Amino acid sequence: MPRTDDPAGAGRPPELVAARAWCWYNWADHGWATPVAAVLIGPWMLALAVAAVGERGVLVGVGPLVLRADAFPSAMITLAAVVQLAALPLAGARVDARGSKRRWLTGSCVVGSAVCIALGATHGAEWVAAGLLFLAGSLVEGVSDLTWQGMLPELADGGRELDTLSARGTAVGYLGAGAILALELAVVDLHGALGVTKQTAVRAGFVIAGCWWLGFGLPALRRLRPAARGRAIAPLRTWGRLRADWRALTGERHAARYLVAYLCFGDAMSAVIALSSTFLTNTLFHDDTTRATPFLFELILMIQFVAMGGALVAGRLARRFGAKPVLVASLVLWSAVIIYAYAGLRSELDAVVAGALIGVGLGATATLARSVFASMVPVGREASFFSIYEVTSQGTAFFAPLLFTVVVDVTGSFRQAILSLIVLFVLGLALLTRSDTTAAAAAARAQPAVSPGGGPDRG
């Protein structure tokens, strides 16, 4: 049972205090997820790479294989995905094995904030340093997100409560993203009055993001104290725990099919979010990061508030029609956005229209994909299952950005690269319609609770 020692929660049920703190940590966590990962880092890495070798210059080459400057951001997103693919499942098993998700969130909050601040120190042609820091920040944020999402089944009673709490947590996260973007947009727009260059203002955005994550994250974590279950296991036994969790997930065919569907549409959705700023910087602003940044801030700011509304509306629709039908509709919307970006996006107004549609799809898909998956998670395996889920979240999956990178590297066309992602949305939609999510949820409820030691919880 969740508990709290925070006097601010006096007189309130501990479950309510913990649920609210869970939502507000997502406000803090978006210090990385939105201003850094979705707005700043792609164009910033592109600018540093171009400063080093020119737009089509070669950064790294081995024989006929070369990495050009304009493909560097998507290549780093791909590499970050590969690192997470290897590390996050083990991290998730370790989080469950330790039985203390709050401790892992605290460590992620502190280290992730430091990475953001260090990114603010990069400049000139330091593309290597920026790339390495991005890798570190992506991994830390991945651990933070899998741990946070793994708390959802513990804080909600299942069924409609999963959809409702997931929607609230998502909405608060997008509200926080909108707030920090508004702050950073003000710094960029008022750089002259502040006595700094626009490039310095952009670098300050990384520092602000780090301070935001730390400043709001630690107070929220003081009130987020779900109970630990049992005794922690030794590190070497984590591998056995991971194998058992993997067998439990893949052994239920309906849950496995849903996971593959999410691996497709979650991969594509994350890639769109991670690469949109780079796509628009190239397509509308001809790789001029200084001109593009104010517009990108305004656009992503709008998307956050639209996504907040999309999350809340999706939660209400799910209560009426069921989560799966609404999730299916959101994927149809994503496919339409991809086609529009390829064929119709020619101006800043077009980008605003596409951004509004993305906001609706983002809020609905993030809310319902999480709550549907949470209903399939057996007690005691929350972080382990969500570590696999997280591999394809927040721009960390590897296939979509790799596909984008290859198309850009070969054709030089960002439009053709964005269109290639529709294959994953369509495939994910097809698999989702064939997934019996109700049967998967029933199978999860039928499994005995698992203690940190790896066996059934008898106590």
3-class secondary structure per residue, 272-288: HHHHHHHHHHHHHHCCC
Indicate the helix (H) or strand (E) that contains 68: strand 65-68
Residue type, position 117, single letter: I
- Print burial letters for 208-245: b (CB count within 10 Å at least 16), e (below 16): bbbebbbebbbbbbebbbbeebbeebeeeebeebbebb
Handedness of CA 112, 113, 118, 123 (dihedral sign): positive
The pLDDT assigned to 234 comes to 45
Quick check: 441 pLDDT over 50? yes
Quick check: 357 pLDDT over 60? yes
User: What percent of the chain has pLDDT above 70?
Assistant: 83
Q: Nearest CA to 300 among 37, 78, 108, 66?
A: 37
Q: What are phi and psi of 68, to 5 degrees?
A: -90, 160
Q: How far apart are CA 373 and CA 259, in angstroms?
A: 8
The pLDDT assigned to 160 comes to 64
pTM score: 0.72
Pick from 36-40, 195-199, 207-211, 353-357: least confident = 36-40
Quick check: 320 pLDDT over 50? yes
CB 46 within 8 A of CB 283: no
Quick check: 456 pLDDT over 50? no
- How far is CA 439 from its chain centroid? 27
- Domains in the chain, start-ordered, CATH in brackets? 13-223+239-446 (1.20.1250.20)
Residue 313, Cβ density class (10 Å: 0-12 exposed, 13-18 middle, ≥19 buried): middle
Quick check: 98 pLDDT over 80? no
Quick check: 453 pLDDT over 80? no
Q: Nearest CA to 348 among 304, 303, 295?
A: 295
DSSP-derived 3-state class of residue 59: strand
- Give residue 291's pLDDT band: very low, low, confident or very high (50, 70, 90): confident
Q: How far apart are CA 330 and CA 253, in angstroms?
A: 24
Residue type, position 278, single letter: T
- Give residue 249's pLDDT band: very low, low, confident or very high (50, 70, 90): low
Q: Nearest CA to 415 among 300, 282, 293, 296?
A: 282
Quick check: 422 pLDDT over 80? yes
> What's the whole-number mean pLDDT along residues 234-260?
66
DSSP-derived 3-state class of residue 293: helix
CB 206 within 8 A of CB 353: no
CB 335 within 8 A of CB 422: yes
The pLDDT assigned to 274 comes to 74
Q: Nearest CA to 72 among 52, 88, 102, 93?
A: 52
Quick check: 421 pLDDT over 50? yes
User: What percent of the chain has pLDDT above 90?
Assistant: 29
> What's the whole-number mean pLDDT along residues 207-222?
95
The pLDDT assigned to 398 comes to 66
Indicate the helix (H) or strand (E) that contains 48: helix 41-53
Handedness of CA 444, 450, 456, 457 (dihedral sign): negative
The pLDDT mean for the chain works out to 82
Alpha carbon distances (Å) from 28 to 165, 187, 414: 17, 19, 32
Tell me the Cα Rg of the chain: 21
The pLDDT assigned to 237 comes to 54
The pLDDT assigned to 339 comes to 93
The pLDDT assigned to 432 comes to 93
- Looking at residue 435, the DSSP 8-state letter turns out to be -
Residue type, position 157, single letter: D
- Give residue 1's pLDDT band: very low, low, confident or very high (50, 70, 90): very low
- Give residue 241's pLDDT band: very low, low, confident or very high (50, 70, 90): low
Pick from 34-38, 328-332, 392-396: least confident = 392-396
> What's the whole-number mean pLDDT along residues 365-389?
79
Pick from 51-55, 292-296, 373-377, 382-386: least confident = 382-386
CB 414 within 8 A of CB 279: yes
